[in-house]
Amino acid sequence: MASGGRLYAATHAFIASPIGMLLLFGWSVAFFYHLCNGIRHLAWDAGYGFELRDAYRSGYAVLAATAVLTVLAWLYVFLA
């Protein structure tokens, strides 16, 4: 906005394009994966989940939570 309306329009057109949407989707997946895996590491820091079975389960839980949070965020974007 500070650079003028033409630059804003060009940026908006790129973000709204299929490539821009794909990049935004990828960034949201990375964000939610990092968030969920950070919570997993906090549990490890507290001393929970060191058993091999628990480590695998928490890894799958991170992947599932990443998928659910990403889908919910994008549903909010498109339906709101």
23-50 pLDDT, tens digit each: 999 999 999 999 999 999 999 999 999 9
Q: Is 17 among the domain residues? A: no
**Does residue 72 form part of some domain?**
yes
Count how many domains the chain has: 1
Domain containing 31: what range? Answer: 22-79
Helix axes 5-16, 18-45, angle to 10 degrees: 70
11 domain residue, yes or no: no
In-domain check, residue 49:
yes
pTM for the structure as a whole: 0.87
In percent, how much of the chain has pLDDT > 70? 99
Q: Is residue 7 part of a domain?
A: no
